[in-house]
Structure 1
Amino acid sequence: MFAYIPILAVVIFILVTSLRVLNEYERGVVFRLGRIIGAKGPGLILLFPVIDRMTKLSLRTFAMDVPNQDVITRDNVSIKVNAVVYFRVVDPIRAILEVEDYMYATSQISQTTLRSVCGGVELDEILAHRDMVNERVQTILDLHAGPWGIKVANVELKYIDLPQEMQRAMAKQAEAERERRAKVINAEGEFQAATKLAQAAEIISARPEALQLRYLQTMREMAAESQTATILPIPLDFIRSFFHGPSHAAPARAGMEPAEARPAPAPRTTVELTDRPEATPDGDA
């Protein structure tokens, strides 16, 4: 009986070393004598020692950071761009057979694609239409990494490093744009105010009592304030009576036209200057 103990120990050791447990998000590509037999998992997997070899892969989404890339845009601006790429393995067998290291290959193709896409657009497009650049990079990456069993889920530009000279120029441009908008808004406000004042003047000219109501309202607002001195505005009709009152109030004399009532202008004296020499006592010129 004791002779079977070593054999039993060897069998238990082989069983223990042949068992593998894969998580729900893991898959194992099994090679038997160098030939692939399929992807196994998740759960308990039995492998034959010596003849079977398993390569384990994760099906979760990877977030890979693309380092800074020196890029010259289409409008000849030198910038540095980095991004982050989200991808996952959808076909474990192709990810093992088609490429040696799918992580390294995806990283390299992401760097080259980012440089080529950013170099083919202008700086304003990268800054203002970043979503378009992200979508274009994602489409190219998905096209190249698809045969490797890789699915690129998303690409996002993280940081765009601009030269100091370009930052100052963009700041000046933004400041000038803000000033232009402020002037336009101010001009529009003046135009609207002038329009409303013109409409108010037409209403007051048609209804003179509206001016008196406005005058009383102004008086009430001034009286409500806590001031020691109160300034009373004088109506324009009161001032106009001093200038036009005597001309309308003075009666015209009977039998005399208005032109005759005005005093006659003083006669003018005309002096004629000549350049003739004075006469001599002998009468010679």
Structure 2
Amino acid sequence: MNPLVTILTAIIAAEAVWWLVWVFLALARRKYSVFGVVLGTLAIWGTIAIFTIRASRYPFIIMPVGPLFTLVVLMIVPFIVLPSMVVIINEYQRGVLFRLGRLIGIIEPGFNIIFPFGIDRVVKIDLRTFTIDVAKQEVITKDNVPVLVDAVVYFNVFDPVLAVTKVANYTQSTTLLGQTILRSVLGQHELDEILSKRSELNEILRRLLDEDTDPWGIKITAVEIKSIELPDTMKRAMAKQAEAERERRAKIIAADGEYQAAQKLLEAASVISKEPAALQLRYLQTLSEIAVEKNSTILFPLPIELLKAFAPKEN
């Protein structure tokens, strides 16, 4: 027998053992249909290989092609068939399995074996949280003020089957739906409500968007309005309003201070009026306070009561 044929025969024998490993892998993964197909394919492949090896030993066996060429083809077949049966699913993914176009089920993370040659098709779905940046939308508020608003949407897939079978592109569809709901909801509120009640609006947007994406297997976890851009004229008007409000508060605070000071002065005058000596004590206290600065001239009023001591006494 040709030495090359002997070498190819040894390689085919090793590949047969390797093929048996795949048979046991399919059985261990409880892929019974795949197990049957792989085992049947191995039987056909092994039968052809044995017949070809015998043909190379007994020249009287007639084959449509040469035994050497057939052995080379048989040696290549496992490298074509077996790798196409492997599907690796990451921990954060799930695989949706279709067999001849029909939905079979969900493939769990890890090493999986499927039918080759396009019989089985696996669509991998990422279960991690995605972030959608909703582009700036021009919104006319309820009080007819044009504003530019953009938002961020956080979502994840909770049902991979619905995300594959019910919507063509769930990311793009969620983005477009978020833009539509953002314009619709903000258009029903006045500008002051949009600026002051942002958390309530975020919850309304999340609830409405989650209700519409639930049939797609999408869970909306949060919606956040990022920025609100106002026209320049509206900014100037709001600045004037804020300035006028500040001036109003300042005047009220100043008037309230004057009122409280007047009340205290009235109370002080009432106390001093009950005892004339208290006024003199107040003069002396004031003199001690202003005498700290030695570069000023002090004019101190002299109470008339002090002159009574020099008045002539009556007989």
Q: SS in structure 1 opposite 2:142?
A: coil
Aligned residues: 244
Larger Rg: 1
CA distance in 1: counterparts of 2:291 and 2:183, whole angstroms:
73
Q: SS in structure 2 opposite 1:224?
A: coil
Q: Is 1:22 the counterpart of 2:89 in the alignment?
A: yes
Change (3 A) 1:10 1:230: same
1:37 offset after TM fit, Å?
A: 1.6
1:13 offset after TM fit, Å?
A: 4.2
1:87 offset after TM fit, Å?
A: 0.8
CA distance in 2: counterparts of 1:216 and 1:9, whole angstroms:
117
Q: Provide structure 2 residue ranges, at least 5 long, that are not aligned to the other structure.
A: 1-5, 16-71
CA distance in 1: counterparts of 2:197 and 2:190, whole angstroms:
10
Q: SS in structure 2 opposite 1:114?
A: helix
Runs of 4+ deviating beyond 3 Å: 5-9
What residue number does 2:47 align with? none
What residue number does 2:236 align with? 168
Please, which of 86, 96, 110 is the counterpart of residue 43 of structure 1?
110
Please, which of 275, 278, 293 is the counterpart of residue 210 of structure 1?
278
Q: Is 1:136 the counterpart of 2:194 in the alignment?
A: no
Specify the code of the residue in structure 1 equivalent to 2:223: V
1:109 offset after TM fit, Å?
A: 0.7
Q: Is 1:193 the counterpart of 2:225 in the alignment?
A: no
CA distance in 1: counterparts of 2:97 and 2:181, whole angstroms:
33
Specify the code of the residue in structure 2 equivalent to 1:11: P
1:206 offset after TM fit, Å?
A: 2.2
| 1:4-15 equivalences in 2 (<5 Å) | 4=12, 7=74, 9-15=76-82
1:33 offset after TM fit, Å?
A: 1.4
Specify the code of the residue in structure 1 equivalent to 2:295: T
Greater Cα shift, 189-198 or 4-13: 4-13
1:233 offset after TM fit, Å?
A: 2.5
Q: Is 1:110 the counterpart of 2:178 in the alignment?
A: yes
Specify the code of the residue in structure 2 equivalent to 1:131: S
| 1:1-285 equivalences in 2 (<5 Å) | 2-3=8-9, 4=12, 7=74, 9-50=76-117, 51-225=119-293, 227-235=294-302, 237-238=303-304
- Could you report, residue by residue, the CA deviation over 1:70-104 in whole angstroms, capped at 9, with x for unpaired residues? 21111111222111111111111111111111111
Greater Cα shift, 120-129 or 213-222: 213-222
**Identity across the alignment (%):** 51
Q: TM-score, normalised by structure 1?
A: 0.78
Q: Provide structure 1 residue ranges, at least 5 long, that are not aligned to the other structure.
A: 252-285
Greater Cα shift, 139-148 or 37-46: 37-46
Q: Which has the higher helix share?
A: 2
What residue number does 1:275 align with? none
Q: TM-score, normalised by structure 2?
A: 0.71
1:23 offset after TM fit, Å?
A: 2.0
